[in-house]
Amino acid sequence: MSATAERGGSRPPDPEGHEGHEGHEGPDGPEGPAPAPAGRGELAVVALLLGLGAFLTHGTVTMTVPSTAGSPGPRFFPVIVIILTFSLAAALAVQILRRPRAAAPPPADAPAAGRPRTYTDWRAVGIVVAAFAAFIVLLTPAGWLLSAALLFWGVSYALDGKRPLFDTGVALAVSAAFQLAFSAGLGLDLPAGVLEGAF
C-alpha cells in the first residue's frame, strides 16, 4: 500500500487498464507537480535556462536605451532576472549531478520487453504539434471550418482515436458548431476561407 504513497513517484503501467486502487495520486492537474523522472533528462531544463539567460543577456546588452530614461533604467530588472536564471540553472545542475545515478531508474525508462521505450511519446506529441501548426497555416486560406476540423481530427488521432472516418464527421460537426455559436451567438467573425460565400 505504500508503493504509491510518495508523491512524485512514477506510476507503473497497469496492463489491466484500471487505475490502481491503493494510491491517491491524481493526474497532474495544472497546479499539481508532475512526477519528476529521475535520471539526467532534467539537464534539458538546465539547457533551457542557460539558453534563456543567454537570450536575455544578449537582449539586455544590445538594448537601445532612450536618453530620457531615468535611473534605474530599463536594463535594471532584466539584469536581476538574468542573475536569477543563471543561479537557478547552476543550482539545478548541481542537484541533478549530485543525485546518485542508479538510485531510482523510472520504470518507464527501463521498460520490460514489449513496453514503450521512452517516457515521452514523441510520436503523439509530434502529431498534435503538426496538427496545430497546420491549423495556423491553413486558418486564413482554408477557413475556420476546415482547419479547425483538421486540428480536431489530428489531436483525436494522436490520442488514439480508433475510427478515423467517423472522427472526420465528429471533427466537422464540432468545428461547425463552434463557428455557428461564435458568428451567430457572439458576433465574432471567424475566417471563412475557401468556403467564402458557401453559407
- Residues of this chain, 23-82, that bind another protein according to CB under 8 A: 23-37, 41-42, 44-45, 48-49, 52, 55-56, 59, 63-66, 68-74, 76-78, 81
Tell which positions 133-192 bind another protein, by CB under 8 A: 133, 135-136, 139-140, 148, 151-161, 167, 170-171, 174-175, 178, 182, 186-188, 190
Grid coordinates representing 97 are: 549531478
Q: How far apart are CA 196 and CA 117, in angstroms?
A: 46
Q: Which of residues 125-144 bind another protein (CB under 8 A)?
A: 125, 127-129, 131-133, 135-136, 139-140
Minimum CB–partner distance for residue 51 and another protein (Å):
11
CA distance 184 to 58: 48
Torsion over CA: 100, 106, 112, 116 (sign)? negative
Is residue 103 at the binding interface for another protein, with CB under 8 A as the rule?
Answer: no
Give min distance, CB of 144 to another protein, in A.
8
Distances (CA, A) of 58 to 51, 53, 55, 85: 10, 9, 5, 14
Cell of 186: 457572439
Round to whole Å and give the CA distance between 130 and 47.
Answer: 24
Q: Which is nearer to another protein, 101 or 164 (CB)?
A: 164
